[in-house]
Amino acid sequence: MAAKLIALACFRSEGYGDLSPRPHYPSMPSYPKGKGVSTQESSSVEQGSSPPEAKAATFSVFGMTCSACAGSVEKAVKRLPGIREAVVDVLNNKAQVLFYPTFVNEETIRETIEDVGFEATLIEDQMNERAIQVCRIHINGMTCTSCSSTIESALQAIHGVQKAQVALATEEAEVQYDPKIVNYTQILEAIEDTGFEAILISSGEDISKIALKVDGFRTDHSLRIIEESLQALPGVQDINVSPELNKISLSYKPDMTGPRNFINVIESTGSKRFKARIYPEGGVRETHRKDEIKQYYRSFMWSLIFTIPVFLTSMVFMYIPGIKNAFDTKVVNMLSVGMVLRWVLSTPVQFIIGRRFYIGAYKALRHGSANMDVLIALGTNAAYFFSVYSVLRAATSKDFKGTDFFETSAMLISFILLGKYLEVLAKGKTSAAIAKLMDLAPETAILLTVDSEGNVVNEEEIDSRLIQKNDVIKIIPGAKVASDGFVIWGQSHVNESMITGEARPVAKRKGDTVIGGTVNENGALHIKATRVGSESALSQIVRLVESAQLAKAPVQKFADRISKFFVPLVIILSFSTWLAWFLAGKFHWYPKSWIPSSLDSFELALQFGISVMVIACPCALGLATPTAVMVGTGVGASEGVLIKGGKALESAHKVNCIVFDKTGTLTVGKPVVVNRKLLKNMLLQEFLELTAATEVNSEHPLAKAVVEYAKKFREDEENPAWPEARDFVSITGHGVKAIVRNKEIIVGNKSLMLSHNIAIPMDAEEILAEAERMAQTGILVSIDREVVGVLAISDPLKPGAEEAISILKSMKIKSIMVTGDNWGTANSIAKEVGIETVFAEAKPEQKSEKVKDLQASGYIVAMVGDGINDSPALVAADVGMAIGAGTDIAIEAADIVLMKSNLEDVITAIDLSRRTFFHIRLNYIWALGYNLLGIPIAAGVLFPSTGFRLPPWIAGAAMAASSVSVVCCSLLLKYYKRPEKLDNLEIRGIRIE
């Protein structure tokens, strides 16, 4: 998933076509009805043909030796029209290509690979079906880690479920399952069997969901007709109708259909009186969050209405003489008006407003677990039913002088509801990063209608959520790009900083890819939508952040273990407290003066027992880690650091050794010619023309550097016409040769010249040796078997790399470089940046072994790389960090993705993880410390010496406040600032890229 989004965000097509003076696309196929057309044109969706589906093919590629070879193949394939994605795996000698058959076929792709200089064979030509699917589920009713653990255990027990994660903070579950064995309906039923409400968010990455509001129908029969019409559409997976909300929810395959097709079908059904539009609501989580906030607010306000009079009659009015006499007036025997009034007012609070706690406690106990609801239900019921007993005794006795605790149960419920209300409010803010990411998408888009010849015949403004695959969208200057796609007309500059972190606007021309949510700076663009809905780069970033927030950090296991025993232990402590104080009073083990005048020894013991029960808070422990991880990963996303979950976050804060790859990590990764030397008397321009004419046929990075250098000496620098090269041959790992202007040109390294029996002059030998000392690559050029010149090529060091390594040293982190390059280049680069330990000429498996050796020496190792050959080391490291501009495989293997490709983000990732775990520790100290101090105080350990006791309603307020305080402590992470040293670098004008 991450691989796709980064590949899309960072891919730049180099195949610029001619820019047409007007929007006309001669190379485009005519659009089928229902795809890439306006809503008017697609009214007869059922009869329209579906657009071409993407197809996958796998090729076996022989001859690749390094990541440069893989990069050459990947770029050559991506230049072809109709290529959606291409990934080359040098380790397994394979290339996987996702393409549109309308534009290109397997044979063309195979020939393109062979043109680069490698042997290619088609070994697979159909899409691999996923053996495992992922569904996301929203769960209502969880109160503490005991609830989440119960659901997780139930899901893990289902045959066919591979992995299940339940997050208390986000109230979501992510389940990986085998669709051949179990389906998501059975998973939902399993959750509901445990006593919680389950709502499906998504059932797989290949299926999109949308909700439509339908107006104009009068009967359920009309709705059934609409449902049947929609069901007939190809690609529709599931339909859910809610007549009371005028709502139809659909799951569908975006490759086959889309929301505009649904609206057209609905509005053309029957007598065309129906109207449909996107349902006006946010996501499932946000909608539920708002409902939950409203629900807790209403419950608290109603509770307050009843509780305030109860509090006044028991705590305030009893000290005002006139009013006290009125409330003390006897109704029957010793039953007073005040008692009756408190009973009447507290009963709705206990059984109607507090009903949620009974339901939660019943669900938990039914499945053999105990949660916070059990504690609240036991505590409030003990106070309420003892009070009922006191009332009944008073009504039937003429000398009973008991006290009721109705204010205890009512005030307990009120304070707990207030705490839950504040907690839900605070928890909503922990996922603010996702909301900010979603806000990047524009609300509307301009849809173009194109005729069969490719001419624009109409344009229409639509909701951006109605965009379908293969639509042609117009992007005006200053507007946000409405969808991922590629430019088919126009040229402009696009600001992609919100996705890639690159501050400079990127030039866009015909054939270049664009990312939804980025901003078009100047010229108008027409783009063809290729990835919509859940497939877009923005959606995948959001999904990555959401998955990270679901994943539990290992430290969370500590809280999960405690939660299993916490509530039963508290119940035992509470009963023991009541029994100890009751027996002490019964046998006069303490003076009678200790007992307040309004209570007897039994009532005093009962208050201590209830206080212990309600002050204990399992919620604070359960929220300590997930809320901090949520905020930490959200902050990381806003800083361009995508952290894949709590485990990566936890491991990163322990890192004390970082292994850097060289090319593309410490260096820019784009070689440039830095020096040249002619050894024969000839014109420089002629020398460069002959060299460039030979190298232009190669996709090797060094060849591209030579061609770019030669362009600078031509007047037609943008698109120069080089002399024709015949009999071109690429010698993998050595160089190239060809016939140009009837001259044999050989360009390559020293070994290539020797293999062709070409003598190397002493001057050339000296230049090659000097180049190696300066971390440069020397290339020899021979014309007709005679060396005529030398080119020195260097991969420049990233600006500020030396400062980044210096900052890591100050953080007590050891830096090591492991590279596949030669020792001379590696040592030179290492010396320049300040790295003391170097391992050069390392193969991919050797990089991995070096990481393991460091781990065996006691280091916690992070690996920073960008190439396919870095993937084994990224997996082996405790924390793998992939440069955002790197290859898909490297990004998939990594734990942390540095979106901006900046070395400074390595420092940011480690510093952010350290700060996050500082807050997690604070949360645990508070949550554990609160319980360790609060429970003894509630049990009355201070009462003998100070006379201080904690009334149950104050204990309830303290319990509610503890959860809120933990969430607020996590929220302080939102104000995270990068280390000042990084800001100082930018002030001095150094941007680490």
Across 235-249, 557-571, 926-940, the highest mean pLDDT is recorded for 926-940
Residue 558's pLDDT band (cuts 50, 70, 90): confident
DSSP 767: H
Question: pLDDT tens digits, residue range 778-828?
Answer: 889 999 999 999 999 888 888 778 888 989 998 899 999 988 777 877 888
Higher pLDDT, 211 or 341: 341
Closest CA to 263 of 279, 245, 275: 275
- Residue 266: CB atoms within 10 A of its CB come to 24
Residues 335-356: what's their mean pLDDT?
A: 91
The answer to which of 173-177, 178-182, 772-776, 905-909 has the lowest mean pLDDT is 772-776
Helices (H), ranges, 85-179: 106-116, 145-156
Is 21 or 744 the better-scoring residue by pLDDT? Answer: 744
Is residue 498 very low, low, confident or very high in pLDDT (cuts 50, 70, 90)? Answer: low
Q: Given CA atoms 894, 895, 896, 899 in this order, what sign does their dihedral have?
A: positive
**Is the pLDDT score of 303 beyond 50?**
yes
pLDDT one-digit tens code per residue, 417-458: 887 787 777 666 655 555 666 667 787 889 988 887 778 888
Work out the percent of the chain whose per-residue pLDDT is above 70. 82
Confidence grade of residue 47 (pLDDT, cut at 50, 70, 90): very low
For the entire predicted model, the pTM comes to 0.63
Tens digits of residue pLDDT in 52-90: 567 788 888 876 765 567 777 887 888 888 888 788 765
Instruction: Give the mean model confidence (pLDDT) for residues 552-567.
Output: 73
Residues facing 210 on adjacent strands: 250
Give per-residue pLDDT as tens, 729-740: 888 667 889 999
Look at the alpha carbons of 695, 700, 706, 707 in this order and tell me if their dihedral is positive or negative: positive
pLDDT of residue 656: 92
Better pLDDT: 201 or 780? 780
Q: What pLDDT shows up at residue 203? A: 66
Rounded Cα–Cα distance for residues 725 and 739 (Å): 6
Give the pLDDT confidence score for residue 428 in this predicted structure.
Answer: 66
Give catalytic residues, as residue numbers.
Answer: 661
Those residues with Cβ within 8 angstroms of residue 83's Cβ, 6 or more apart along the chain or in another chain: 77, 97, 98, 99, 100, 104, 109
Q: Pull the structure tokens for residue 813.
A: 């982190």
Tell me if residue 134 falls in helix, strand or coil: strand
Q: pLDDT confidence of 348, banded at 50, 70, 90?
A: very high
> Per-residue pLDDT averaged across 252-276, rounded?
79
Domains belonging to the chain, first-starting first, are: 55-123 (3.30.70.100), 133-202 (3.30.70.100), 208-279 (3.30.70.100), 286-432 (no CATH), 446-532 (2.70.150.10), 536-639+917-992 (no CATH), 640-667+797-913 (3.40.50.1000), 672-794 (3.40.1110.10)
| 879-890 per-position pLDDT tens digit | 888 886 544 555
Q: What is the pLDDT of residues 355-383, one digit of tens each?
A: 988 888 887 787 777 777 887 888 888 88
Report residue 467's pLDDT band, with 50, 70 and 90 as the boundaries.
confident
If you average pLDDT over residues 41-59, what whole number do you get? 52
- Quote the pLDDT of residue 341: 92
The reported pLDDT for the residue numbered 72 is 74
**Range 845-863 average pLDDT:** 88
Asked whether residue 565 carries a pLDDT value surpassing 60, the answer given is yes
- Crossing angle for the helix pair 67-78 and 106-116, to the nearest 10 degrees: 140
Whether pLDDT at 956 is above 90? no
50 has pLDDT over 90: no
Q: What is the pLDDT of residue 32?
A: 35
Distance, in Å, from the CA atom of 298 to the CA atom of 300, rounded to the nearest integer, reads 5
Side by side, which strands form the sheet with 879-883? 641-643, 896-898, 879-883, 861-865, 657-660, 814-818, 837-839
pLDDT for the residue numbered 538? 73
pLDDT of residue 13 exceeding 50: no
The answer on pLDDT for 982 being more than 70 is: no
pLDDT of residue 813: 92
Are the C-beta atoms of residues 829 and 667 closer than 8 Å to each other? yes
Q: Would you state the pLDDT for residue 39?
A: 34
